[in-house]
A and B are shown apart, each in its own frame.
Chain A
Amino acid sequence: MIKAKNDMSVADPSQITQRSGLAILGKILVSMRAFIALFLLLGYFAIINDSFLTQSNLVILTKQVAINAILGIGMTFVILTGGIDLSVGSIVGLAGMVAGALINEGLILEIFGIVVYFNVWIIIAITLIVGMFIGLANGVIITRFNVAPFIATLGMLYVARGLALLSANGATFPNLVGSPELGNTGFPELGAGSLLGLPYSVWIMIFLTILAVFIARKTPFGRQVYAIGGNERAAQLSGVRVKRITLLTYVISGFCSAMVGLIIASQLVAAHPATGETFELNAIAAVVLGGTSLAGGRGTVFGTIIGAFVIGVLRNGMVLEGLSSFLQIIITGVVIILAVVIDQLQVRLQQR
């Protein structure tokens, strides 16, 4: 009896497959659209511009992409739960200032009348913790006080930027080289150094991508993130600790933002409080281009990386071509809208 039923249900779909092989090919093409777009862009710029495929340009390109991709990784987790994090750009700025202050001025402990200087590793750790702490604050406001993520992180966008400006009264921490007698040299190495021809920032992106893909696909946390975005109530009744998991996604996003703040401050050998403005929008764009649904529950980390590359290649190519930067902005916007339009088409295709 049971067996007969199963046979029937298996037979039906195979009929469909035969009938609509073309449709399935179409679906595969649509689902790989970000990849295809990336290769088309790469091919196009490689043909029309000789300097595009040079090693030096590709290094510059991936360094730019790494910034957006790392932010996008954190943003992907947040968006998968159905949330959004508008504060990432400000955390980037604040993280740079934290690192800058710790290197140039040390930690001033007024009570004891002393100034403590840390070595660079500890400074990096403290900065990352500060970023995670801001993410934690976002998460607490959202999950414990039931504030909409858009509002909570919009508020944090201002607060973190304000803190960044306040930290040096709007000034820059220049020349973050440290000094040998304080034992805090070596910070610029993070932005300038490279391994096997690739800058450290690119290695960090690769490492974080692998880690994030693993977390999203292979850990209970990852599955639960998808479940929360798909149906929060069902997730809760299945024993998913919705608040805790949601909160953690903002901590991840804060961590990624602080990492980017460190990379940029190190690359510039200076920390400027306005660093990272509008970065949140680029990160969201990368996530959306990568096929993640803003409604939550649907999307991939790898898609976000591809999305970041699409944006990066497009900008880099347009710069090489000497396109007006105003025109560049318009084209970037059109590409993002186009991506979402295609995304909606795909959803409709799936429902057929």
Chain B
Amino acid sequence: MSENIIARAEQITKVYPGTVALNKVDFNIYEGKVNVLIGENGAGKSTLMKILAGVEQATSGRIILKGQEIKPRNPRDAEELGIGIIYQELNLFPNLNVSENIFISHERTVGGLVIDHRSQENKAKELLKRLEQPINPKTLVSNLRIGQQQIVEIAKVLALEVQILIMDEPTSALSNAEVEVLFRVIRELKAQGVSIVYISHKLEELMQIGDYITILRDGNLIAEAPMEGIDLKWIVDNMVGRDASKIYEPAAHDIGKVILSVRNLTLPAPHGKDNILDDVSLDLREGEIVGLYGLMGAGRTELFECLMGLHPYYATEMTLDGKKLRSHVVSNRIEQGIMLVPEDRQREGLVQTLSIHDNMILASLQRYLARLLSLNTKKEKDAVGQYVHDLSIKLSNTRNLISSLSGGNQQKVVVGKALLTNPRVLLMDEPTRGIDVGAKEEIFNIMVQLAQQGLGILFVSTELKEVLAISDRIVVMSKGRVIREFNRDEATEQALVEASAVGHGVDVAQ
């Protein structure tokens, strides 16, 4: 077995203030094979990969490449050693064009001074062709949709011609067709002897592409095995450390009267002809969980933003408990009982410079006023403590910076912040994005519990199975319009996909 191990991380330990991210982890990279790395959020996958790619340095342990110990101090070192990485987050310059992005810091030059744009563009075209994306290399990255940007990110690493390629959730923004292309490219790379480390939360995907599988949990290596003879249950059990029920069955909750009612909501596009939201009407009842399904650009996020009062929309009716939602001020909407859990934790959900406590309390500060307009610290502390407990947020001290928590726990803080405003309606935009199976289930449980308490929950997800698992009712949107509503018992994957493609001119029969 050892002769085809091209690189090996031995006894890697990484300590951050407040947490041990990795605890004496061994990790093998097999020549010309794909080793998939999985684990719950906060298991240490990304940290391990960042250490291999020179972005971070291990507290202890060593990395052996072809029998020699290496110490990459930065990504450039790692690249020179033949290790490339595609990060979980996009790292592109929106103000530069595609070929400039692909060759950033590796510019092809004439005489070492002037950029050889033609050569770069030709090579870029070649790479994009290989990825079956007919993108003009001169297009500004800001004009590409997210999936295409992801492709550019992949092309960027391919241009480096590395021996070891680390992919940290490369498919999170890709369509099924694009994922297929990526897998084909991965197989080509394997045939050329490139070794690949692949991180993803999508288990089926891992089964499909992996040769070996490595599982981390809480910073510890749990298992490593060849993919042959392994099934989903084994993976999930090892990942979560307990038996996870396969299909989520929400607990019973009573559905009451209508709380949120929207009629003819229209949001014009600032420059384009098509409305971003076109004549959207929907109701949400007490204790009801409504899933909002649609492709990118369906207008789901914009609908939420309108409900929070962010855009200059038009609607004939928008009421909460019979009272009009009129003022276009977020704080008034929150006061009236509507609260958003945004899609992007880092950019929209959390303030990184603040503590866990301050983040959680941010939307409900007015509730803790004591004399002289000052805050009642004890009351605040109790409220935060209550939700830390209720949501079982894993932390050592609420005064630590929010960044000391793992993704799933950060998400719970965002949820806690929303709940502290005592909402009637909770809008959740991709509440399970980028979090692991275990945390997903916890978030589902929380949603059901809230429904049992009589909250109305409107949530967006791009994962069909999730929408089907937890929704009492599903609203499908496409191109800014509500296409169809499904009750829980009449919804099927096929029907949802078909409805979501209306107006896209795409043949969805696969």
Contacts and interface: CB of A to CB of B under 8 A. Distances in A.
Interface stretch (A64-72, A182-190, A223-231): A223-231
B369 interface: yes
Interface in A229-253: 229-231, 233-241
Contacts of B362: 223-224, 227, 234-235, 238, 240
B365 A226 contact: no
Interface stretch (A3-11, A45-53, A147-155, A282-290): A3-11
Nearest to A238: B363
Interface of B is mostly: mixed
A298 B353 contact: yes
Given A219-B375, A220-B369, A9 B19 contact: yes
Interface residues of B, number: 41
B312 to A, nearest CB: 15
Given A13-B18, A230-B352, A237 B394 contact: no
Contact of A224 (B340, B365, B377, B421): B365
Contacts of A219: 373-375
A350 interface: yes
Given A5-B392, A8-B218, A16 B351 contact: no
A144 interface: no
Contacts of B394: 5-6, 9
A233 B348 contact: yes
A231 B358 contact: no
Contacts of B352: 230-231
Interface string A278-303: 00000000000000000001100000
Interface string B341-368: 0100001111111100010011101100
B44 to A, nearest CB: 13
A17 to B, nearest CB: 10
Nearest to B305: A237
Chain A, interface size category, equals 20 to 34
A297 B334 CA distance: 24
A251 to B, nearest CB: 16
Given A16-B15, A231-B347, A2 B395 contact: no
Contact of A13 (B19, B218, B335): B19
Contacts of B358: 223, 226-227
B395 A234 contact: no
B353 A220 contact: no
Contact of B375 (A218, A231, A239): A218
B11 interface: no
B90 interface: no
A5 B40 CA distance: 14
B295 interface: no
A350 B329 CA distance: 36
26 contacts: A5-B392, A6-B394, A9-B394, A16-B20, A218-B375, A220-B365, A220-B369, A223-B362, A227-B354, A227-B358, A231-B353, A234-B351, A234-B362, A237-B308, A238-B362, A238-B417, A239-B330, A239-B334, A240-B330, A240-B331, A241-B329, A241-B331, A297-B353, A297-B354, A298-B353, A350-B17
3 smallest CB-CB distances across A and B, nearest first, come from A230-B353, A230-B351, A297-B353
Given A2-B392, A237-B342, 20 more contacts: A5-B394, A9-B19, A9-B394, A12-B19, A12-B396, A13-B19, A15-B20, A214-B374, A220-B373, A223-B375, A231-B353, A234-B347, A235-B362, A237-B308, A237-B340, A237-B348, A238-B417, A240-B362, A241-B329, A352-B17
